[in-house]
């Protein structure tokens, strides 16, 4: 996996700011070409207290781009959609042993998200380190520290639940539980900075609940059921956090909409058949619910959770029917990353039995 190396990489630093150096002529020079060049740009030139907000926002931006691409591409791993082209999204069909590691959202054939998550992690951890170092020179430092820690936690949570092993900053290979333990530490750090308070940031009105629900996810995965219950129980019914999206530039697009409604490369999948029979739990077209509340296909009332529309046309290959998702219908629709319903699912999984049924109903 491509990584941002804290000790050697300048590629990640270059993403944080564009430095424009104006070179003027020296009055005593006979030629306009005789100039004095400034010294080499070093990390300290970019990492200044006044850049604290930029650093944290950069971590959020890299996370959001990668999460948008991650959402649509990993959906193919569960046969939610299938492709009608020879290249886009092919790794999601288990044809490779790793995801594309290109930069996020560079062109129509790009499927990269791993590098963006690592960049987000690197910038979030660097921001936390630098803002701590700058102390009182940074205004609103507690909000920035809590935000950086939360997004570092989110990255480690996603990667810990996705990879069988992971390394960061050329360190040793970590197993999933080790990665998730780091995620839990970052969420706890964020909550320590907030104390009994809370902050509103670009993605949510409650940073505290985002950190709590992120930690609940991790604790559930690590088997700390008591801790997961304590965290999930604090999520209010109106809580939601989003990956913000807009139609300005490609990294800001909703890539679920781009991939499944605009490109013509992919469509929502029908029931997958293997060796003459259907594969269980596949097929996302014409989903319905029967009078007993059981999921069915074209036999009951439409299931509102997975809206799909047949567009009466073929995709790019000229033979695949175009069934388009209807959940995200423009580039600027935000993608939820945490909400109250997830907290209820966590609690239901822990409780089980009648209590779980009652909670879900």
The answer to the question of residue 64 being in a domain is no
Residue range of the domain that includes 262: 250-325
Contact 191, 213 (CB under 8 A): no
Beta-bridge partner residues of 321: 314
Structure tokens belonging to residue 148: 């950086």
Structure tokens belonging to residue 90: 């092919």
The answer to the question of residue 270 being in a domain is yes
Residues with Cβ within 8 Å of 183's Cβ and at least 6 positions away in sequence, in order, are 153, 154, 155, 156, 157, 160, 214, 218
Q: What is the mean pLDDT of each run of 10 residues along the chain (361 residues)?
A: 40 41 37 54 81 96 95 83 69 53 76 90 97 96 98 97 91 96 98 97 98 98 98 98 96 94 90 86 88 86 90 90 95 97 96 89 78
Percentages helix, strand, coil for the chain (3-state, rounded to 5) are 45, 10, 45
The answer to the question of residue 275 being in a domain is yes
The answer to the question of residue 214 being in a domain is no
pLDDT, position 2:
38
Contact 346, 216 (CB under 8 A): yes
Tell me the C-alpha distance between 168 and 174, whole Å. 9
Helix then strand count (H, E) for the chain reads: 11, 11
3-state secondary structure of 247: coil
The answer to the question of residue 293 being in a domain is yes
pLDDT, position 183:
98
Tell me the C-alpha distance between 336 and 328, whole Å. 11
Tell me the C-alpha distance between 155 and 180, whole Å. 10
Is the C-alpha dihedral spanning 76, 79, 81, 87 positive or negative? positive
Residues with Cβ within 8 Å of 289's Cβ and at least 6 positions away in sequence, in order, are 295, 296, 300, 301, 302, 303
Distances (CA, A) of 180 to 113, 214, 262, 340: 19, 11, 36, 21
Tell me the C-alpha distance between 14 and 346, whole Å. 40
pLDDT, position 107:
81
Tell me the C-alpha distance between 310 and 312, whole Å. 6
The answer to the question of residue 302 being in a domain is yes
Cα 109 off chain centre by: 19
The answer to the question of residue 88 being in a domain is no
Identify the CA nearest to 122 among candidates 161, 156, 157.
Answer: 156
pLDDT, position 300:
92
Phi/psi at 141 (5° precision): -65, -35
Q: N- to C-terminal Cα distance for the chain?
A: 42
The answer to the question of residue 68 being in a domain is no
User: What total number of domains does the chain contain?
Assistant: 1
Structure tokens belonging to residue 191: 């909550």
């Amino acid at each position: 996996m491509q990584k941002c190396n804290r000790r050697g990489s300048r590629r990640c630093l270059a993403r944080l700011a564009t430095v424009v150096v104006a070179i003027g002529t020296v009055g005593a020079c006979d030629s306009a070409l005789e100039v004095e060049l400034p010294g080499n740009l070093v990390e300290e030139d970019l990492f200044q207290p006044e850049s604290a907000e930029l650093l944290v926002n950069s971590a959020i931006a890299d996370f959001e781009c990668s999460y948008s691409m991650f959402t649509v591409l990993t959906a193919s791993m569960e046969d939610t959609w299938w492709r009608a082209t020879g290249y886009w999204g092919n790794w999601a069909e288990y044809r490779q042993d790793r995801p594309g590691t290109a930069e996020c959202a560079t062109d129509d054939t790009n499927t990269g998200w791993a590098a963006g998550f690592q960049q987000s992690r690197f910038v979030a951890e660097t921001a936390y380190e630098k803002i701590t170092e700058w102390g009182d020179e940074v205004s609103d430092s507690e909000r920035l520290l809590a935000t950086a820690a939360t997004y570092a936690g989110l990255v480690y949570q996603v990667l810990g639940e996705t990879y069988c092993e992971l390394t960061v900053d050329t360190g040793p290979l970590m197993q999933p539980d080790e990665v998730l333990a780091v995620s839990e530490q970052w969420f706890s750090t964020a909550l320590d900075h907030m104390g009994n308070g809370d902050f509103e940031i670009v993605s949510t009105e409650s940073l505290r609940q985002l950190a709590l629900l992120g930690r609940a996810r991790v604790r559930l995965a690590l088997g700390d059921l008591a801790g997961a219950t304590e965290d999930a129980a604090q999520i209010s019914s109106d809580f939601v956090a989003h990956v913000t999206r807009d139609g300005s530039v490609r990294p800001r697009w909703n890539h679920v909409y781009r991939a499944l409604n605009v490109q013509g490369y992919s469509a929502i999948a029908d029931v997958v058949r293997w060796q003459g029979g259907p594969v269980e739990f596949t097929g996302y077209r014409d989903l319905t619910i029967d009078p007993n509340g059981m999921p069915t296909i074209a036999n009951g009332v439409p299931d509102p959770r997975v809206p799909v529309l047949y567009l009466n046309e073929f995709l790019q290959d000229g033979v695949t029917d175009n069934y388009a998702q209807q959940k995200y219908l423009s580039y600027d629709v935000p993608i939820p990353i945490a909400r109250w319903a997830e907290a209820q699912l966590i609690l239901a999984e822990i409780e089980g039995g009648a209590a779980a049924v009652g909670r879900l109903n």
